[in-house]
Amino acid sequence: MGLYAALYLWLFFLYSFHSAPIVDGVGCNWGVKASNPLPPDIVVRLLRDNGINKVKLFEAEPLVLRALGRSGIEVMLGVPNEFLAPLASSVSIAEQWVMQNVSAFISKYGVDISYVAVGNEPFLKTYKSMYKQTTLPALQNVQAALIKAGLGKQVKVTIPLNADVYQSPNGLPSAGDFRSDIKDLMLRIVRFLQDNGGPITINIYPFLSLYADPHFPIDYAFFGGTSSPVVDGSISYTNVFEANYDTLIWALEKNGFGNMPVIVGEIGWPTDGDPHANVEYARRFNQGLLNRIAQHQGTPKRPMTPPDIYIFALIDEDRKSIEPGNFERHWGLFYYDGTVKYPLVLDNGQNLTQAKGVKYLDRQWCVLAPEISIGDPRIADSVNYACTYADCTSLGYGSSCNGLDVRSNISYAFNQFYQEADQQKGACNFSNLSVITQTDPSQQNCRFEIMIDTGKHEEAVTSASARSSWRPLLLGSACCCRGAWVLFVKLITRRQMKTIFMNFGSRLLLLFLPFMPRPLCAPLY
């Protein structure tokens, strides 16, 4: 072996050792469709405390991205499906998107954006063919924009796809191929991804297999083995995850893409909203999954190269659409407030730990007033109203609060509304049927929640005297800092302004105090 060859090999090994930690670790999907989302800085700390070193976001939320800046957490940034048509229509729209939502966060805030995920399950059968025409052109335009922005190497494109883009006529992985109505399109997409070094991203949900088919063998949904494995040639599949994943690998291989890198973009198990969505099953599934990740376990078709995996999801989201089912709002490893649902040992060997520094609203609940009889004709409308605007999914069949008696059931609905409305004055008033109590009405598995304080509450219930104490500050900043304010207001958009105020409220004004000329402002204090 020549010196150069030896050196080359040595460098090669160095490189592969060096690059190993990058693919290590576990990822999580971080969605923000919540009435009272946890503040982004608390979530980033939660991620770091738990050694979760990758996140997948569904859109470019500025405060979320900023909080991820210089955190050491790698980001897959999603583009919502509504953006596919505009992005497909012109490269310059894609360039603006990349400039505002990728380049700016990388250069200004040091966000480690490694992937842009264009669209979200765009070929889901339920979308009919709505995004069929726009997905590939949008992908191409975003790729071109990334190259133009000088990010072609650093940021890769991908498309998170639902597992129904491929199928197997006989149920065996080896017969896997892409769905016939989108096969040509899928092959063009995969070729484009391969040409640009992007992976294919696939969402796999054993829970949904169980949910959709009452005869689905339960053990096969988990990772602990099954008495009746699926035998495919020389391979015995003992869990649906491996069988499903390998169906894709076969489909890729058959079409000449045997080496295509694959990411599992979503996988997880919900804890409420369905008889199979419970803490015991979720723990069993997610612990099995995390053990695989910790052991770098691949699948029979790809034993040596396990996929990067993003668990769905980090935190519960009480504003998600429940069209797929009531379980949709309960996928989190953590509850809405970052508390732990069940013990879980992560790939770093530590137990899951809860969020720190969470601020709650006051310890009070809204319940059905004791003097109201359950026969009161106004109740039905009030409960209906509460559950239209707030999350009552835990009351449904097979859910954590399904066992409540009628009174508590009504109270649960009232309280959800009251909490999601930030305990605002008047939010616990259902035709005078309800009262506020300081006694926790929670029972067994059913939690009567207290929402996170996101600052909206203070504005709503501030008494007249407390409010007037802020007036000099407002006046002060208006009189002394006009220049600063005008600049500030010009620099940020209205939407950003709203978000900033929602998150920091009037505390923001304090920021301007140091800039005020003392003599001018003194009389105002």
| Binding residue count for ligand NAG, defined by CB under 6 A | 19
Q: Compare residues 59 and 458 and give the one whose CB is closer to ligand NAG.
A: 59
DSSP state of 306: P
Q: Nearest-CA neighbor of 205 among 159, 240, 166, 160?
A: 240
Beta bridge partners of 286: none
Among 431, 439, 468, 496, binds ligand NAG (CB under 6 A): 431
Which stretch, 94-102, 167-175, 212-220, 306-314, contacts ligand NAG (CB under 6 A)? Answer: 94-102
129 is an interface residue for ligand NAG by CB under 6 A:
no
Separation of first and last alpha carbons in the chain: 81
77 is an interface residue for ligand NAG by CB under 6 A:
no
Among 212, 374, 406, 466, binds ligand NAG (CB under 6 A): 406
291 is an interface residue for ligand NAG by CB under 6 A:
no
Nearest-approach distance from CB 406 to ligand NAG, in angstroms: 5
> At which residue do the structure tokens 């790729």 appear?
143
Of 74, 121, 328, 449, the catalytic one is 121
Question: Token digits for 510?
Answer: 């304090």
Nearest-approach distance from CB 430 to ligand NAG, in angstroms: 8
Question: Token digits for 75?
Answer: 């980001």
Among 34, 68, 97, 142, binds ligand NAG (CB under 6 A): 97
Of 61, 74, 242, 266, the catalytic one is 266
Q: Compare residues 404 and 481 and give the one whose CB is closer to ligand NAG.
A: 404
Q: Compare residues 137 and 396 and give the one whose CB is closer to ligand NAG.
A: 396
Torsion of CA 320, 323, 329, 333, to 10 degrees: -110
Helix (H, G, I), strand (E, B) or coil at 77: strand
Question: Token digits for 149?
Answer: 């922005």
Nearest-approach distance from CB 253 to ligand NAG, in angstroms: 35
Nearest-approach distance from CB 185 to ligand NAG, in angstroms: 24
Q: Nearest-CA neighbor of 313 among 24, 22, 38, 20?
A: 38
Write out the binding residues for ligand NAG, residues 34-63 only, by CB under 6 A: 59-60
Write out the binding residues for ligand NAG, residues 295-354 only, by CB under 6 A: 343, 351
Nearest-approach distance from CB 387 to ligand NAG, in angstroms: 5
Interatomic CA distance for residues 415 and 235, integer angstroms? 52
Q: Compare residues 175 and 435 and give the one whose CB is closer to ligand NAG.
A: 435
Q: Compare residues 42 and 390 and give the one whose CB is closer to ligand NAG.
A: 390
Interatomic CA distance for residues 88 and 94, integer angstroms? 8
Q: Is 121 a residue of the active site?
A: yes
Q: Is 242 a residue of the active site?
A: no
Nearest-approach distance from CB 194 to ligand NAG, in angstroms: 27
Q: Nearest-CA neighbor of 136 among 188, 202, 197, 200?
A: 188
Write out the binding residues for ligand NAG, residues 357-396 only, by CB under 6 A: 383, 387, 392, 395-396
Helix (H, G, I), strand (E, B) or coil at 340: strand
Q: Compare residues 6 and 460 and give the one whose CB is closer to ligand NAG.
A: 460
Q: Nearest-CA neighbor of 166 among 221, 232, 246, 247?
A: 247
Contact 250, 176 (CB under 8 A): yes
> At which residue do the structure tokens 């599949």 appear?
237
Question: Token digits for 412?
Answer: 């649960």
Interatomic CA distance for residues 271 and 330, integer angstroms? 6
The DSSP result for 229-296, as a single string, is: PEEETTEEE-SHHHHHHHHHHHHHHHTT-TT--EEEEEE---SSSBTTBSHHHHHHHHHHHHHHHHTT
Which stretch, 96-104, 268-276, 448-456, 469-477, contacts ligand NAG (CB under 6 A)? Answer: 96-104
Nearest-approach distance from CB 135 to ligand NAG, in angstroms: 16
Which residues belong to the active site?
121, 266
Q: Which residues bind ligand NAG (CB under 6 A)?
A: 59-60, 80, 96-97, 100-101, 343, 351, 383, 387, 392, 395-396, 406, 409, 429, 431-432
